[in-house]
Structure 1
Amino acid sequence: MVNQNGKTVVVKLPMEQPHIDSTETSPLNQRLRDNNSDISSSPSSAVASEQSCKKLIHSNSSNQSSRKLLLNIIIDFAVLLIVGCSITIFFLIGEPYERGFFCNDEDLMHPYHISTVKHWMLFVFGIIIPVVIIFTTEICRSKTGIDEEHDIKFFKWTISACKQNLYKYIGMFLLGTISCQLLTDIAKYSVGRYRPHFITLCQPVLNADGSDCNDTKNFNRYIEDFTCSNPNVTDKMLKDMRLSFPSANSSFSFFTMTFCALYLNARLQWNGTQILKYFLQFILIAAAWFTSLSRISDYKHHWSDVLAGSALGFVLALFVCQKILKFKRREKCLANLKLPIKYELNTHNQNSV
């Protein structure tokens, strides 16, 4: 600045002090301020203060990871609950599509038989056995120390790699199973196809004139307005008559057994002969194949129902294992193999050549 005498006068302006927000009272910021003041006042406490800050930051990040993991677990159980409730709604209040039939349709005149594979047998072979196989395999893998995952902290608990794998594989197995059942129910109630024993079990009577299928005038006649005259038929059986396509037993057995076979192929580490491993996989697929064929021989389903159900379960198991869980066959890498003989370069012979 120039004054009246022509001299230059330098005026020093006061420097602006940084504004400190008094509202910043978070525990972390307050702890950092205290640590900084401790460091300036006492140099000997610098190391201890730095370690306490690191512990505090690590504790906050650990709590955030635990909360995120808890949220994922809640979402997983919510999805299982939603799919399970959907199946229950179909079972309780669902009404299959009402279609007609022909009295001379031979595919609907088969006798009524009791199922060869009971529901409790299907539950044991389809649910309990795969869960036991997954549980046993993961325990054996944890004992041998070949798990790829590391232990994680969940609040005050430590979750081992074995428990993580059990949660992942059993959870995906159960989710895939009930998803397969839901897709099957959607098709069943949308199509409403009659079972092969429909005419035998229902004994339909036309509401228009009271005639039945033994009357020749009803041959080649598409009948929609009828009533089942068999007094032994319950409402549950009347509903079940219209749920032939696709076969739920076939889709269920093929999904569970195919999933279990692919799981064994990817996770079971067997140093002995591979024949036993392949034999176990063969037994699983054979059980699903027998269950599906029994639905045809028991006149519970048409052959096309069994084919559609088997294909649905098989394809869904492949999708879950290959695209979601990403099962891959473990093969030995040639780079990790050690040769029994160590070859060395003889520089003397090389020079002589």
Structure 2
Amino acid sequence: MPTGPVISSCASHMASHEPEVKSSTSIIPCFLFVELVLMAGTVILSYHFEYTDTFPVHSQGFFCYDTTLSKPYPGPESTSRAPPRLLYPLITVLPILTILIGEISSVLIYPRWRNRERVITCGDCCFFNPLLRRVVRILGLFSFGLFSTVIFAGAVQTVTGNQTPHFLSVCRPNYTALGCVSHIQYVSSPYACTGDPELVTEARKAFPSKPAALGAYAAVYTMMYVTLVLQVKGSRLVKPSLCLALLSPSWLLGLLRVAEYRNHWRDVFAGTITGSAIAVFLVTCVLNNFGSTESKTEEDELPLQESNEAIPPVLHPALTREKAPKMHPQMSLDPPPCLVPVTPDVLIPSNCMTSQV
């Protein structure tokens, strides 16, 4: 009995489910001297845009008695219905928890889905588990995109210097000294405001809305993760419900910014487009849709491999030729005997063929 092919097929079947090991000497140097350096530079640059005056804001002029800039001052950001102490933890903690729960659940429910990835070793001491590498890659890129959104929005705000709807309330221009006699008169003097300089500077950072950009980035990134990675069987409404639940806070935040006269609708729209574009770019072009395409093809190939392995081995041609006569006996060339009635009481067997007219 040929046991060699069976044993080899069983060994290959078992090896296909075991994680492969790959040696790499460049993963740690690349992480320490390239990725961490870029991440640190992004964090430092975003800090300068957010909390320092390293980059001066462009002083844009305004029209006298402009009603679109004369809304009442809503107060500092801490008095908003979505203050920074609530907004920033929601933007960071909710996506991180969603990704961690999704990755751990995928490993527990579909262990073969992760075993197809390789365990990378660097030397004799460092082993990088596929789950750990995947979580670090997804969350690290999420953090990078978050700080990149802050930098992009801050840079556009600094260059444009567009005013908020309550700009004239904090600017407090002296219309008499400026000689304003009509609504079409344009004031371009950088010293036209007599209010608090800090409030005036903050009131010039309206386009695009930074909170709207951050909220849209976190929502779209997490929504794409839920759509592309999580697998829910038996229901078609779980994923859409989760996606709508993730997008709703971002939409409510944009509406709240407009309702509190902190941003114009165009500022919120531009911020939403900015954050969404950065999230889509990172997921599609950098993470390749979280590797969902490769994992699905591997899952589709596994049942085919198992079904192919279940097929019994093909017999040798010589054996098939020997067993063929036994399995399919040859039929004689002579026609089968038939019974022709000669008399009503006697049946004589003979080789004949009958036909009906």
The match for 1:222 among 162, 186, 209 is 186
With normalisation by structure 1, the TM-score equals 0.70
Summarize deviations over 1:24-83 as a string: whole Å, max 9, x none.
xxxxxxxxxxxxxxxxxxxxxxxxxxxxxxxxxxxxx95xx23x1111212111111111
Which amino acid in structure 2 is aligned with residue 175 of structure 1? F
Q: Matched residues in 2 for 1:143 and 1:251: separation?
A: 34
Q: Matched residues in 2 for 1:80 and 1:335: separation?
A: 38
Q: Matched residues in 2 for 1:223 and 1:175: separation?
A: 40
Gap regions ≥5 residues in structure 2: 1-21, 308-327, 329-357
Q: Matched residues in 1 for 2:159 and 2:61: separation?
A: 14
- CA shift, 1:334, in A, is 10
With normalisation by structure 2, the TM-score equals 0.69
Which amino acid in structure 1 is aligned with residue 177 of structure 2? G
Q: Is the 8 A contact 1:142 1:161 kept in 2?
A: no
Q: Are residues 1:151 and 2:151 paired?
A: no
- CA shift, 1:116, in A, is 2.2
Q: Are residues 1:71 and 2:29 paired?
A: yes
Q: Within 5 Å, which residues of 2 pair with 1:249-288? A: 249-288=211-250
- CA shift, 1:276, in A, is 2.1
Q: Are residues 1:89 and 2:48 paired?
A: yes
- CA shift, 1:272, in A, is 4.0
- CA shift, 1:242, in A, is 0.5
Q: Is the 8 A contact 1:180 1:316 kept in 2?
A: yes
The match for 1:105 among 66, 69, 73 is 66
Q: Aligned residue for 2:354? A: none
Summarize deviations over 1:107-153 as a string: whole Å, max 9, x none.
10111224221112221221111011111111222223121422222
Q: Are residues 1:299 and 2:257 paired?
A: no
Q: Are residues 1:191 and 2:156 paired?
A: no
Summarize deviations over 1:262-313 as a string: whole Å, max 9, x none.
0111221223423222211111111111111111111111111111111111
Partner SS, residue 82 of structure 2:
coil
Q: Is the 8 A contact 2:64 2:180 kept in 1?
A: no
Q: Within 5 Å, which residues of 2 pair with 1:197-236? A: 197-205=166-174, 210=177, 217=181, 219-225=183-189, 226-230=191-195, 233=196, 235-236=197-198
Q: Is the 8 A contact 2:46 2:148 kept in 1?
A: no
The match for 2:94 among 115, 126, 129 is 129
Q: Aligned residue for 1:52? A: none
Partner SS, residue 237 of structure 2:
helix
Give identity over the alignment, percent: 22
Q: Is the 8 A contact 1:99 1:193 kept in 2?
A: yes
Q: Matched residues in 2 for 1:77 and 1:216: separation?
A: 54
Partner SS, residue 153 of structure 1:
strand
Count matched residues.
270
- CA shift, 1:333, in A, is 5.1
Q: Matched residues in 2 for 1:333 and 1:134: separation?
A: 24
Partner SS, residue 228 of structure 1:
coil
